[in-house]
Amino acid sequence: MSKTPSFLPETLAAQGAAEPAAPFFDVVAPLHLATTYERGGDGAYPGGRVYSRDANPSYDAPETTLCALEGGAAAALFASGMAASSAVIQVLQPGARVVAPQGMYWAWRNWLVQFAEQWQLQLTLYPVGGLAAALATPADLVWVETPANPTWEVTDIAEAARLAHAAGARLVVDSTVPTPVLTRPLELGADLVMHSATKYLNGHSDVVAGALVTRETDAFWEKIKRVRALGGAILGPFEAWLLARGMRTLFVRVRAASASAAQLAAHFESHPKVAAVLYPGLASHPQHAIAARQMQGGFGGMLSIRVKGGAEAAMAVAARLKVFKRATSLGSVESLVEHRASVEGPGTLCPDDLLRLSVGLEHVDDLIADLEAALAD
């Protein structure tokens, strides 16, 4: 990282990793579109690059910035969060034991179940509060998503790391929702951090990307890098450049969204047409004490409400919203709403009365008024 480590994270994010350099001394890192690089007469590569599939210079700024924000040893960009996640699993040997929560991003859970059978992995999916029991026998990899999408259970990362390491396993934490603005899993004992960078890291609904950050650049990490290079699940240079741009506003966006989400959660917790508000920042949340301990400066911009009247009532509320847009994804500047059970389909664990809300940067009064009107009809 070219910035001195004494700089605070907000400064590191706002200025990015690239220092202005000759010949133009650009304040913003230039975009590198080349796919290949010329050898010198002696067969060496004077620029240190061989091929763009795994070494495009446009990766440098976002990878270096994210690595510094997470306090890791190295970071790697991928074509999507799913690509980043699956790369971790693909380096495991057949027969390895993977322990993961029942409640997590549904597409990733489904992929794990299918891949485990195909790859002869031993997959254990544990319920909320069941990690200790699941690790009563040795394991190779423990996966944690916290807060867990879309019901926002919180896992104690430090305790999960202790349990995983005692069982001989590595701990991977999906930290897409809190981002390093609110939680730094490596400092709490995690071995790897995964981000769907499509969401808060980019923050503008215009890039699909994923990222991994590692505590150590060990043999396991090198295998992950090989999976990326040879499997080809890479990010394009323009997308990497956009991601670097998005990360420069990460702290202000996450903090603003968190503040608005907290206001929404508090406002609707006692609403007569709301059965429950699921948000780690509420004192009523079952794991609020854990969240308060490991989420510093806010509880994130994601919450869910359970609408009285079941699926039909929840869908009707979503249909009446004007400010919240009915769309998949989360973590961008615009607020989104989604009826998750119908999106996930058969086999979903999501309650059918649940609406997932991704709070953006609109004025919180407009968001509250929008939900009030939709609930009132």
Active site residues: 53, 105, 174, 199
Task: Give CA–CA dist 147/222, Å, rounded.
Answer: 28
Give the angle 165-170-176 at the CA atoms, nearest 5°.
120
Strand partners, 142: 99, 171
What residue has token string 């609408």?
307
Measured distance CA(76)–CA(62) in Å, rounded: 9
Report the C-alpha gap between 341 and 206 in whole angstroms: 25
Instruction: Please give the backbone phi and psi of residue 47, each rounded to the nearest 5 degrees, phi first.
Output: -90, 0
Cα angle for residues 50, 55, 57 (degrees, 5° grid): 110
Instruction: Provide DSSP, 263-314.
Output: HHHHHHTT-TTEEEEE-TTSTTSTTHHHHHHHSTT---SEEEEEETTHHHHH
Report the interhelical angle of 237-247 vs 60-70 (nearest 10°): 40
Would you call 239 helix, strand, or coil by DSSP? helix
